Structure 1
């Protein structure tokens, strides 16, 4: 059965949030223009104007990982409400400052930073709730539509901001953004999200952050998506940083012409939403990303290889379509690989790379443009993108087969142990393995070991008993007994169960499991 590109919009919760987010994205981009303009009106130095961008990105970069952990240990709807409320407060504060002529550079930067904190709080949880709003089959289409949302907002927002500044003043952009956040808050307040299943209660924030990092480190398929994202975003982000310079320089366009280029990118993104689902029926994700990267590299190079404005406008259509095709494929691939218990904290690393890669790319390619010219700064990364895309397609392929990461409880009942006092736990699992199955068993256990580490094990190993032929000893340590109980009751998935059972059928009978607590030395008397 073919899933329509617009199928997620038939779901009322997704549709309402998508529309509210669309207005919010337009407001955010309009406000960016207003903030930069207001800083100029305040007599801000070149450094203070540059700090507008820093204030809107640095808090996100610093806080998105711990806030991603909050999205897994608290109700994600409440986390989103808190994040949007902070952004509403920041936009409202900017509106009052500008409207009462009480703005200063420091106050402007402070309220922008407050909004960035709210954005950091919202981003991982917003990504993590997408599988709750649509079916698993609709996740790629939802990712596409969210990409369209952002790119069209990027195209419309600056133009609207310019009109509002010209007709009313910068305070109008802040007022529009304030109203847009009210819409998101209303939608979230009306959404009836099912309660999370946490038999052992919420995790401590520090533990949740460590567990999220351990999950990412022990998930090769998810790390592969992050690597592919890094390779694309660092080399592909130069266009967004340098497009204003290309418009004003080689193309000799005014602000209206620059707006046309941005509008072309947005139109390309909308077209991509129609085309990508059809392409995915004809080819794999891996091949789609490769082709989209090649076309994106060619289109970005066109912007500095021709003086024809019409040709560049057409090239921007392709950049918008290919940008959304690539990033939505990465985003959907990441979401379907992650179980619900760790989705927000793992996706925070995705957001960290997405934003950090764009910031790094802007600095690197902007510096190269200053030193060697715009043509070099666009063609060098384009060539690098092509080479890296070809290599990554071969050595870091995206998978098309579905993985069932829905919850599953398949471990035996843990023993009842009291007064563990937060001590580390050593678990030993003794397996009896026929000699003819040993090689295949060791291979199967590598997948089991990764699952142990993803769900909480700090160390894992498999050993062959030299005194008892046919005996294998699996050992792993967990930081606390509570963490081990979470392995038993909250963190297992269907794919983990399948890997465990694949090893079990190669052994003779069920394994013998022992649990040992770290023996603390007695306190001196």
Structure 2
């Protein structure tokens, strides 16, 4: 057993043996520590400038709202731009924002407005950066190490969460806001240096490369037609909307309910990170006892108990222990939802769909932060935490019935569609394209065929179709014509690349009802223009 455990540990850290990944991973940990240092300074500084709960909650909202707005465009940009140069540009923008915060604090000109404004800029940077960091992982490690690299990235974030807030609180208490922001500025030097050192291989030219607006529409079409993704998004929105209360109000909990200082606030946030690290190590054991729905219910109950206990203004040492529990519950929910989302997404749309997930996550956090801040103005901090705790438990029990997908489908491209036959070469931007498939179906199979075809229609829409239907021949009721529109010839060729092995199985379920001597006849009809 010990040997197996050692092997598992070695496998978990195997990606760090690859030099490029190790350097960028270490730089990212340092950069995230700087970000947490900055966020602690801003969250605490706003309590000095305004005692209103709504103002404090506005800082949380300003950090998450840009991600709600920009995550999807950022996911598209991560697919069409040079990711290394894109990340360097983002880091320089974020460093400039922190320099402005440093200057304002050093000169005594800092205000709630300036804090919110530059926190918003930081949120923009986070929105642009998150999908891109996720997208570069397969470039840095071998295919076998991708999952391990993703897990190490999550571990790195929580290491930063454990160190950064405590460091930020100590710096703020000892040296003031200007020095604290200065440490964040220095952290960007490490990240930019690592990105400059990385010699990224230039992408190969591809005639079917997507452009921004086309890729944007394709991502939205996929998300609109994927019921499995819908379930993940709903479960995420409900959990984060209620649990956002503790994040929005934590600075006031630390100061007003618990009588703490900036250093104590940093310790609380550090406890969340430490709890998340502990929770990450517990996850393999929990997965052997609970399915994904059980894990989400456990996370909701843990977060609700923490909020309820904090509303009682416990001793500070008890509050630190409670935040350890919150961190474990938080990482359980995050990894469960993110892992489920990853398992139901094919590679071609992974970045864009994960960006939609980030949009829902941060939208729920933003709306929740604003709502709980407003409620706290009317009811007080303690009562608001108790209301949020009760709401989270009730919502967790109700939505437990909406089961998360298992994510067991084989989403590797099947490449089984033949190249379409054309009389002459077709321009890639020509469209729209109408594709028809003609089937001959016996009367006894009619109902089963139509049921299978409607199930397969979701695949058509996910992979690029913007209209779909099925008609029958008035002269021969055994003839059925499936049709769907695609916006361009290039987009249809991309459909050939996108169809997965799981989709191929659905297609075979449809075709087995076809009784013709030849396979179903496929036609490609192009929009006719005047010559």
Relative to the length of structure 1, the TM-score reads 0.86
**Structure 1: gaps (5+ residues):** none
Matching residue of 1:431: 439
Picking from 504, 516, 523, the partner of 1:514 is 523
CA distance 1:294–1:466, change in 2 (3 Å): farther
What pairs up with 1:105-116 in 2 under 5 angstroms?
A: 114-116=121-123
CA distance 1:276–1:192, change in 2 (3 Å): farther
1:329 and 2:333 equivalent?
no
Matching residue of 2:13: 9
What pairs up with 1:81-96 in 2 under 5 angstroms?
A: 81-92=88-99
Q: Which moved more, 1:467-476 or 1:133-142?
A: 133-142
How far off its partner does 1:269 sit?
Answer: 0.7
Picking from 425, 444, 456, the partner of 2:452 is 444
**Structure 2: gaps (5+ residues):** none
1:465 and 2:473 equivalent?
yes
Q: Which moved more, 1:142-151 or 1:366-375?
A: 142-151
Deviations 1:406-461 (A, max 9, x none): 33322221233435864311111112234443333323323321121112111111
Partner SS for 1:460: strand
Deviations 1:135-177 (A, max 9, x none): 7887776555444443443443233234434555544333322
1:28 and 2:28 equivalent?
no
Contact 1:84/1:181 (CA < 8 Å) preserved in 2?
Answer: yes
d(CA) in 2 for partners of 1:165, 1:154: 16
Contact 2:438/2:521 (CA < 8 Å) preserved in 1?
Answer: yes
d(CA) in 2 for partners of 1:220, 1:77: 34
d(CA) in 1 for partners of 2:84, 2:332: 28
CA RMSD, Structure 1 to Structure 2 (Å):
3.5
CA distance 1:337–1:427, change in 2 (3 Å): same
d(CA) in 2 for partners of 1:223, 1:475: 25
How far off its partner does 1:276 sit?
Answer: 0.6
How far off its partner does 1:346 sit?
Answer: 1.5
Partner SS for 2:289: coil
d(CA) in 1 for partners of 2:128, 2:64: 13
CA distance 1:268–1:111, change in 2 (3 Å): closer
Matching residue of 2:508: 501
CA distance 1:38–1:312, change in 2 (3 Å): closer
d(CA) in 2 for partners of 1:305, 1:94: 35
Matching residue of 1:241: 248
How far off its partner does 1:327 sit?
Answer: 0.8
Contact 2:431/2:526 (CA < 8 Å) preserved in 1?
Answer: yes
d(CA) in 1 for partners of 2:201, 2:379: 55
Matching residue of 1:272: 279
Contact 1:426/1:476 (CA < 8 Å) preserved in 2?
Answer: yes
Contact 1:235/1:381 (CA < 8 Å) preserved in 2?
Answer: yes
Contact 2:219/2:352 (CA < 8 Å) preserved in 1?
Answer: yes
How far off its partner does 1:228 sit?
Answer: 0.9
d(CA) in 1 for partners of 2:405, 2:346: 17
What pairs up with 1:324-473 in 2 under 5 angstroms?
A: 324-395=331-402, 397-416=403-422, 417-418=425-426, 422-473=430-481
How far off its partner does 1:83 sit?
Answer: 2.5
How far off its partner does 1:511 sit?
Answer: 1.3
CA distance 1:270–1:52, change in 2 (3 Å): closer
